[in-house]
Amino acid sequence: MTASTKTKAEIGSIVTKLQGLHISSDRDELLRDAIDALLQSDEQSNLLPAPRLFSRGLEIHGLAVSDASGGGKTHTIHNCLSKHPALVASGGDPARFLHVTVPSPATLKSLGCEILRVSGYPEISERRERWSIWNVVRNRLALLGICVLWVDEAHDMMGNKKEVKDLLKTLKRLMQGDQGVIVVLSGTDLLLDLIYLDEEVERRFTKIQMPPITDATEGEALSEVISGFCKIAGLKPPVEPGLVPRLIHACRGRFGICIEKTITAIEYALLDGAAELSLTNYAHAWSATESRPPEQNVFVSPQWASIDLDVRNHRGTKGRSR
């Protein structure tokens, strides 16, 4: 295959296209089933944009999704909610879910104000009492017909010990009554520590802990993803044996980072005018963010499997500039 030189604009366009793709996996089905179980359905079993009621109609249940940073949970949840037939915007009607990220500093007031801001509500002062802000939040969600409130990076609330209990009480209030909503929380494994602080909250939340990927479970599928990405980029897929196991180890089993590093490696290959994606491109992509000497580069070292990535080594080399 002959190498072809692309302009930086063309390469940027390819990278943007790859970044916008959704890679389906078993996680999608797992998440979709969990969301479906929290929604009402009609007599024909069609799912409705309304929370399913539990405990004789007194409460609504929620969902907590935890994964390591870079695991890809945010992208997976967004894809699920934005394409869900009961929640997707259609016929001029807005989407029936709202996505917010816990702001910094993470306080109950700042979260309430952020929900209102994302919903399009006029600016509201944080000097108002917390109960007043959250009353507005509840009424605003009902007015917009929001069925699912998704709070991302929810583990950040653990940093404010004074407000954690009040946050959990607020979540419980949101998930009850005629104006109640399904609350979806996502974050790192610290999120589960938050949920387990309150027995009632723990009972009312379905928990999904995304496992790290392995070569045995996801290796073949990841290899197909790499080949598909190379085809879009006009590159020949890598032929070096053992690339996928190296990639999974280098990314600590985090699916999202595996995809991110593959896109970066493809970008390096295109900038070099290469015809084929190679281990060298992955080595450059990895060293750009890992502070380690060359002999500890997972894509270079013959003993890559024995490299302990949890042990910090600051004798790194500078990554390539793009």
Mean pLDDT confidence for 70-77: 93
Burial readout 101-132 (b: 16 or more C-beta within 10 A, e: otherwise): bbbeebbbbbbbbbbbeebebeebeeeeebee
Sketch the domain layout of the chain as residue ranges: 8-21+214-306, 37-209
Per residue in 166-175, pLDDT (tens digit) is 999 999 999 9
Per residue in 178-187, pLDDT (tens digit) is 889 999 999 9
Residue 152, phi then psi, degrees to nearest 5: -90, 155
Per residue in 260-298, pLDDT (tens digit) is 999 999 999 999 999 999 999 999 999 998 878 888 999
Mean pLDDT confidence for 239-246: 94
Residue 165 has pLDDT above 80, yes or no: yes
Mean pLDDT confidence for 195-204: 93
Runs of H (alpha helix) within 159-254: 164-174, 190-195, 199-204, 215-233, 243-250
DSSP for 63-129, please give it: EEEE--TTSSHHHHHHHHHHH-TTTS-BTTBPPSEEEEE--SS--HHHHHHHHHHHTTPPP--TTS-
Amino acid 322: pLDDT: 56
Amino acid 138: pLDDT: 96
Mean pLDDT confidence for 74-79: 95
Q: Residue 319: which pLDDT band, with cuts at 50, 70 and 90?
A: very low
Q: What is the mean pLDDT of the chain?
A: 91
Domain 37-209 bears CATH identifier 3.40.50.300: yes
Paired sense of beta strands 39-41 and 47-51, if any? antiparallel
Alpha carbon 106 to chain centroid, angstroms: 19
In angstroms, the CA 117 to CA 176 distance is: 23
Q: Tell me the whole-structure pTM to 2 decimals.
A: 0.88
Amino acid 123: pLDDT: 84
Residue 82 has pLDDT above 70, yes or no: yes
